[in-house]
Amino acid sequence: MTESTDQATAPSARTTVKRGANRAVYAGEEVKAILDAGTIAHVGVNTPDGPIVLPMAYGRDDDTIFVHGSVANAMLRAGRSVEVCITVTIVDGLVVARTPFHNSMNYRSVVIRGEATAVEPERMLETLKIINDHVVPTWDLARAPSELDVKQTLVLELPLAEASAKVRGEGAIDEDIDMDGPHWAGVVPLTSTWGTPITNEDLRSEIPVPEVLTAMAGTDANPGKAYG
């Protein structure tokens, strides 16, 4: 696959990709597919201490993304009922051009902007399960969190209403003057694969590895790679 041919329009002026506009993707299904393939979100909030961006786990349900952390997490606390930005990035390869100026990366990225809100207590378990199972689907196999665990946790939700994606999935784009030169150009693909589960040394020996985890071994950690 090369550049996206998606014709859907940006949901807002500030979400319109200006630089590299040919790589923009706005269609909800494509944005969701990238979110579903990613593992880590970078959450940006303007806190009383100044702006900060922290990496976090996340989950998605229909048109909403969720992030969670301790009720003591300063960034999450500052992110309640204010504008935030959540970014998910998957790197699919290094693009090596004939000149470093044109080096690049193949990637799939989503930027979501908007006002985050704290999830109310009665939806905490449901949304914590969404986050947990996006990362590793073990919620129903493990001990349920205690009331205290839940009380000590803050979940923020952000609608996907103002989301944009950018996708690069092609080789190096060089200048005419370099085309007959001696320098190499191409892509070094990056693949991430889950390994075989390693059982904790303190685990009772009769407890088997859950099938959902053994099934992950050898599979693509970020499925849906765009190129290569």
Kindly list the residues in this chain that would bind ligand FAD in the complex (CB under 6 A).
14-20, 89, 91, 105, 107, 109-111, 164-166
Say how far apart CA 118 and CA 156 lie, in whole Å.
5
**Cβ neighbours around 187 below 10 Å, total:** 19
Minimum separation from the CB atom of position 143 to ligand FAD (A): 37
Q: Which is nearer to ligand FAD, 89 or 99 (CB)?
A: 89
**What's the burial of 110, exposed, middle or buried (CB within 10 Å: 0-12/13-18/19+)?**
buried
DSSP state of 183: -
Q: Which is nearer to ligand FAD, 18 or 204 (CB)?
A: 18
Say how far apart CA 59 and CA 85 lie, in whole Å.
15
Minimum separation from the CB atom of position 190 to ligand FAD (A): 10
Minimum separation from the CB atom of position 96 to ligand FAD (A): 14
Q: Which is nearer to ligand FAD, 155 or 165 (CB)?
A: 165
- Dihedral (CA of 142, 148, 152, 155) sign: positive
Minimum separation from the CB atom of position 18 to ligand FAD (A): 4
Structure tokens at 178: 């370099």
Minimum separation from the CB atom of position 164 to ligand FAD (A): 4
Q: Which is nearer to ligand FAD, 20 or 121 (CB)?
A: 20
Say how far apart CA 20 and CA 33 lie, in whole Å.
20
Q: Which is nearer to ligand FAD, 105 or 161 (CB)?
A: 105
